[in-house]
Chain A
Amino acid sequence: MNVTLLGSVDADTLSKVAIPLYSESVPCGFPSPASGYEDTRLDLNELCIPRPSSTYMVRCDGDSMNGIGIYAGDILVVDRSIKPKHGDTVVAAVDGAFTVKTLALKPRVRLLPQNRQYAPIEFKDGSELQLFGVVTHLVRTMQR
């Protein structure tokens, strides 16, 4: 696999996290004369945060979701404006604390952990599920 240097980000565009995308890879030492036509810069915000005013970020602090690859230290992008559906990863307030779980609506409303060491969270009659929002993306800084 070729690795392409994407270039530096200048200070004026820092807040937009703009990274130039080259549509072609450049073989080391022999740049193709056809390359050099830059496409528009990619903006990670555009990908992860289409609705900034309803998007919050939270940090994961447990291991209950290890089964689907959410680990402690990960940053979760949460969009409140999305209507939650069965199977969504959601952030909810349970007993006064935020938790990230898989939302089950069938056969009844439950919050499912993705780790055998934890039990599903059930809701008794009359108690309400306090949803904070739906997790849409995950940001992880890789160990180096």
Chain B
Amino acid sequence: MPIYALCDMNSFYVSAELLFRPDLVDKPCIVLSNNDGCAVARNPSAKSLGIKMGAPRFEIEEVIQEHGVITFSSNYTLYADISNRVMTTLERLAPSVFIYSIDEAFLDLSGMENLGPLERYGRSVVDTVRRDVGIPCCIGISNTKTLAKLANQGAKKYPKTGGVVDLTDPQRQRRLMAITDVGDVWGVGRRIGKRLKELGVSSALDLADANPAWIRKHFSVVLERTVRELNGIACIPFDDTPPNKKQIVVSRSFGQRITKLSDMRQAISSYMTKAAEKLRNEGMNAGVVTVFFRTNVFNQNQPQYSNSVSRTLTQPSSDTRVLISIANELLSSIWKNGYAFMKAGVMLSDFYDKSISQQGLFDIEPVDGRSTKLMATLDKINRQKKGQLTFARDGISQNWQMKRENLSPCYTTRWSDLPKVR
């Protein structure tokens, strides 16, 4: 039987911030999403004030003021570096590691049960990550990924576990499932959870005991897989990599509302630059380009306008120059003056493998080896230092850039931002 562990970092973004702010460890702290919009990470003290995950800033403004909640803008440069450190540490401690997200990783511990108690091993992982990197984490261990996730939730929820739960014992599995809401099971979610409850399946244990065929008929084969996983039958492979991306979206809210077409052109061009870079990283060409924007739907006093437009390319491309120029044509076709736009974005879809691109019958330009070379050079230069080489259309003074009022220093990635010691 395989043995998987899920290692999940506690309140990761806040933990990363507080590593360098010993003055704030006892205070309620939250990290806000892009544009300082919503709470995306909260430390336990902020959670106890009732700040919910994803709560928009304006809804919690009062609590923030009243309790002096410390707010950080998201500093993804910092989080990426700290995450990388944790993952590297895990790779040193476990035979096989599968990075699931910025703050979660699965460890394959199959066979290690013979080396000693798994709980003791889990504790040594938690202690090492805590000491070496400075980030607290929890570990759940079981025979399937779904059960490992469940064990991890238990480790997080019940302090008595000390952050480690070994859920390989079937009796223990059933006891924990009996007190777990079905909506909290990995892969179920709120919407399906609600439907399950209407049908009398309210705990994780109810779901585990449900008839797989019935689940498949009324829900999906994916949920049937979850049922089997809850019964200790591993159905999700350890390194279940998501299939090739089907689309790439780059979209942001603006720091200040955009009213001028020239500013919107800059924004769209710079998003397309990012999207095209991602596309080339995937080794793909895109066949469809989409541009969209919208005004602030929450502000009903202002005139509202949102629109999106797509075009199918005769020849799929990943050339930033081509994609920017198409995006700008699309933008012009739907632009209207007199609105204050809050958000815009671009989407690339309909991907083709670069190696199988074919020249169109009516294409004037040949499939251009020079374009590929130019883009590769561009990417290489920009990998050394982000934004070193940009397209003039991206603009130079980007005053529409997003709001990051409480951005912390990049403590670990910039010489000028090193933490100070006295």
Interface string of B16-32 (1 = CB under 8 A from A): 00000011100000000
CB distance from B133 to the nearest CB of A (A): 6
Contact: B422 with A62, CB < 8 Å? Answer: yes
A-B CB pair tally, cutoff 8 Å: 67
Contact: B419 with A53, CB < 8 Å? Answer: no
CB-CB under 8 A for A53 and B418, given A96-B23, A98-B22, A130-B22: no
Size range of the chain B interface in the assembly: 20 to 34
Q: Please, how many angstroms separate the alpha-carbon atoms of A58 and B412 in the complex?
A: 9
Q: Please, how many angstroms separate the alpha-carbon atoms of A130 and B18 in the complex?
A: 13
Contact: A98 with B88, CB < 8 Å? Answer: no
Interface string of B144-157 (1 = CB under 8 A from A): 00000000000000
Asked whether any CB of chain B lies closer than 8 Å to the CB of A138, the reply is: no
Interface residues of B (CB under 8 A from A): 22-24, 84-86, 88-89, 92, 131-134, 384, 411-412, 418-422
Q: Please, how many angstroms separate the alpha-carbon atoms of A78 and B118 in the complex?
A: 31
Residue contacts A-B, CB under 8 angstroms, 14 given: A14-B384, A53-B92, A57-B418, A60-B421, A60-B422, A61-B420, A61-B421, A61-B422, A80-B134, A81-B131, A96-B22, A97-B22, A99-B421, A132-B134
Q: Please, how many angstroms separate the alpha-carbon atoms of A138 and B335 in the complex?
A: 57
Interface majority SS on A: helix, strand, loop or mixed?
strand
Q: Please, how many angstroms separate the alpha-carbon atoms of A61 and B85 in the complex?
A: 26
| Interface residues of A, count at CB 8 A | 27
CB distance from A51 to the nearest CB of B (A): 8
User: Which residues from A are CB-within-8-Å of B419?
Assistant: 56, 58-59, 98
User: Which residues from B are CB-within-8-Å of A81?
Assistant: 131-132
Contact: A98 with B89, CB < 8 Å? Answer: no
Contact: B132 with A54, CB < 8 Å? Answer: yes
Interface string of A73-98 (1 = CB under 8 A from B): 00110001100000000010100111
CB distance from A121 to the nearest CB of B (A): 11
Interchain residue pairs A-B with the least CB separation, the first 6:
A96-B23, A93-B22, A54-B132, A62-B422, A53-B88, A53-B85
